[in-house]
């Protein structure tokens, strides 16, 4: 018994914001230095009337254009920026997508580790609940609505985005084992109460570089993964500095890792689904390839899993 | 393979607010009429510095005074009123409770159906993930912080509360099957963006009475449950009107249903755990008794499950 990923779609808002745009609003910013650290020049910014639920709708709809919505048994909405404290965004999306009234729909609040968390929950719901055969994980955030143009630690990094991942119960297992970590001592290093996101970027980077390379190394050891038997490390796209450092520390070949932060920024919980979709489209990953996916960040929270690739709808 | 509930604790804030208190602030309110419909006289109100995480800590700590915190493999925090959009409240609570850095910790956003949703997720995580043996579900909300004293539809009903439920992997199964429902067409009937909860009480009540009695009836049929083989229907404590109507429609004997709305109000996702704890303490439910638990409300979202009772720590 197991599950597999059978569909991934994503949506990026139309509006693009570059470092040049930010320089206009912040004459004193050293955008060369910022670019050197982040590697990010353009990011996607949701329109005023485009909230996390609307973005989610746009990627989920792409899946449901190819797959019968009546077959969806549960909807997991991973978000930290729903316009509502209540009800859960998943309930609103259930109606927008005209999903069955029998779906189990709920939100999971997680950020950069959110895809690994959502996938683990979805996997065990599908495997364990006899009446479930298909689940939809939707990941959507609009961090930009909570980051002013003057916020130099956050604005040059985060993109708004949504992604939707269709998963299916199967006789063979394509996902797992997964491992997780949480360290609330770093909770205040990236936080949002109401209006403006605060990030202590160097604290988050320090944590990441002290924790994540070992976390990945140990996971590979336990799962007998080495450079000969995995095809891709799909890493959360935190920034150039963090991604390159992890790559160096693990001494991973360039062809085994795929970076897209420069083109789309840090899309929080959508970063890994977007990498998987892009690598599938570019035939960097093919059926039966082994992928390691690792998300980490806000929380602090991190997670890792192994994915055996299968064809997407 | 299965799971069982091995511990429940709850916490209610110290401050009590009565209808008499509300009458002082709202001279024109017909509190007799309100009491006739809600059956609720006193409710619990969190202190200014007591947020949903602090309430959660107080009930979780009661569990961890009796159980080794190092054994907890995951923490699910069910809440709609965390003071933070990010990080997830579960990460902050992980640190406050000094749980292991290896825990999987995340928030689920659900309200009155939240216990059934959290329990289903926890059940399948425990059953499916080989390295998980114990999980903690913490449910905590402070609706009162988002309801002014002038809000006549909400203030007389909702109580702040938290509850913590310890679950354990076992060879026999004590929980399930569960069923779920979602109808986002009613999403705007009970909502909170930022400051003040809005509730269209009659719409919520109408939905509940048209959906929930049939939902419970069908669940009982499918699971061969009748008045001779279940001991207790643990129903979300929406209000007197809703609870009594459901009881009447289902023609359930008084001894098979336990109401505590009059003493503690509507505690959202904690209502069912509190009933289970009270009924255990009063020996209304004992080892091996069968309980039906049904939560419903904000979302609109509902869920039902069957619990075989076991001794609590």
Separation of alpha carbons A150 and B67, rounded Å: 48
Measure CA B91 to chain center.
21
Can you list the residues of chain B whose pLDDT is less than 70?
none
Nearest C-alpha neighbor of A122 from the set B162, B200, A114: A114
Nearest Cα of chain B lies from the Cα of A282 at a distance, in angstroms, of 33
Give the residue from B86, B96, B266 with the most A CB atoms within 10 Å of its CB, the best one to mutate: B86
> Which residue segments constitute the domains of chain A, with CATH numbers given?
2-170 (3.40.47.10), 175-308 (3.40.47.10)
Secondary structure (DSSP) of chain A: -EEEEEEEEEE--SEEEEHHHHHHH-TT--HHHHHHHH---EEEE--TT--HHHHHHHHHHHHHTTS-GGG--EEEEE-S--S-SBS-HHHHHHHHTT--TT-EEEEEE-STTHHHHHHHHHHHHHHH-TT--EEEEEEEE-GGGG--TT-TTTTTTB--EEEEEEEEEESS--EEEEEEEE-GGGGGGEEBSSS--EE-HHHHHHHHHHHHHHHHHHHHHHTT--TTT--EEEE----HHHHHHHHHHHT--GGGB---HHHH-B-GGGHHHHHHHHHHHTTSS-TT-EEEEEEEETTTEEEEEEEE-----
Report which of B298, B138, B143 is spatially closest to residue A88, judged by C-alpha positions. Answer: B298
Q: Which of A91, A181, A299 sits opposite B184 (nearest CB)?
A: A91
| Predicted local distance difference test score (pLDDT) of residue B1 | 84
pLDDT in tens, A15-60: 999 999 999 999 999 999 999 999 999 999 999 999 999 999 999 9
State how far the Cα of B305 lies from the Cα of A206, in Å rounded to an integer: 44
Residue found under tokens 């003493």: B263
Structure token pair of residue B301: 């979202």
Query: Which chain B residues have a beta carbon less than 8 Å from that of A82?
Result: 109
A191 touches chain B (CB under 8 A): yes
From the list A92, A121, A299, the residue facing B187 with the nearest CB is A92
Spell out which residues of chain B touch residue A131, defining contact as CB-CB under 8 Å: 177
Cβ within 8 Å, pair B106-A117: yes
Mutate to test the interface with B, among A52, A74, A76, A91 (most CBs of B within 10 A): A91
A-chain CB neighbours of B120 within 8 Å are 104, 125, 129
Give B263: exposed, middle or buried? Use CB within 10 Å, 0-12, 13-18, 19+: middle
Give A-chain residues touching B85 at CB under 8 angstroms: 80-81, 109, 146, 192-194
Residues of B in contact with A130 (CB under 8 A): 177
Give every residue of chain A whose pLDDT is below 70, as ranges.
Answer: none
Give how far A255 is from chain B: nearest CA, Å.
Answer: 31
Interface subset of B 8-27, CB within 8 angstroms of A: none
Whether B110 sits inside 8 A of A108 (CB atoms) is no
Contact map slice: B 200-229 vs A, CB within 8 A: none
pTM here is 0.98
A51, A53, A74, A87, best to mutate vs chain B, most B CBs in 10 Å: A87
CB spacing of A187 vs B95 below 8 angstroms: yes
**What is the model's pLDDT at position A131?**
95
ipTM of this complex: 0.97
C-alpha dihedral (A122, A126, A127, A132), degrees to nearest 10: 170
CA A148 to chain centre: 22
């Amino acid at each position: 018994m197991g599950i597999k990923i059978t569909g991934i779609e994503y949506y990026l808002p139309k509006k693009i914001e570059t470092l040049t745009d930010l320089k206009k609003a912040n004459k004193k910013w050293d955008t060369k230095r910022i670019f050197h650290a982040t590697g990010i020049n353009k990011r996607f910014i949701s329109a005023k009337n485009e909230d996390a639920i609307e973005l989610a709708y746009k990627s989920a709809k792409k899946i449901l254009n190819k797959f019968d919505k009546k077959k969806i048994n549960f909807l997991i909405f991973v978000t930290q920026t729903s316009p509502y404290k209540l009800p859960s965004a998943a309930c609103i999306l259930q109606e927008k997508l005209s999903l069955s009234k029998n779906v189990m729909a709920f939100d999971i609040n997680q950020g950069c580790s959110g895809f690994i968390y959502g996938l683990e929950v979805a996997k065990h719901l599908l495997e364990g609940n006899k009446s479930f055969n298909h689940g939809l994980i939707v990941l959507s955030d609009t961090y930009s609505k909570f980051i002013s143009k003057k916020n130099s630690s956050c604005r040059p990094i985060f993109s708004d985005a949504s992604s939707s991942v269709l998963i299916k119960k199967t006789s063979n297992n394509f996902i797992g084992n997964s491992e997780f970590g949480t360290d609330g001592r770093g909770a205040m290093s990236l936080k949002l109460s109401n209006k403006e996101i605060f990030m202590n970027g160097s604290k988050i980077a320090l944590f990441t570089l002290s924790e994540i390379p070992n976390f990945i190394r140990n996971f590979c050891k336990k799962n007998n993964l080495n450079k000969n038997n995995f095809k891709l490390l799909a890493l959360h796209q935190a920034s150039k500095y963090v991604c390159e450092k992890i790559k160096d520390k693990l001494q991973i070949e360039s062809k085994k890792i795929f970076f897209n932060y420069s083109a789309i920024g840090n899309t929080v919980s959508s970063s890994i689904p977007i990498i998987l979709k892009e690598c599938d489209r570019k035939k960097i990953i093919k059926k039966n390839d082994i992928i390691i996916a690792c998300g980490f960040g806000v929380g602090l929270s991190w997670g890792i899993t192994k994915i055996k690739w299968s064809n997407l709808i």
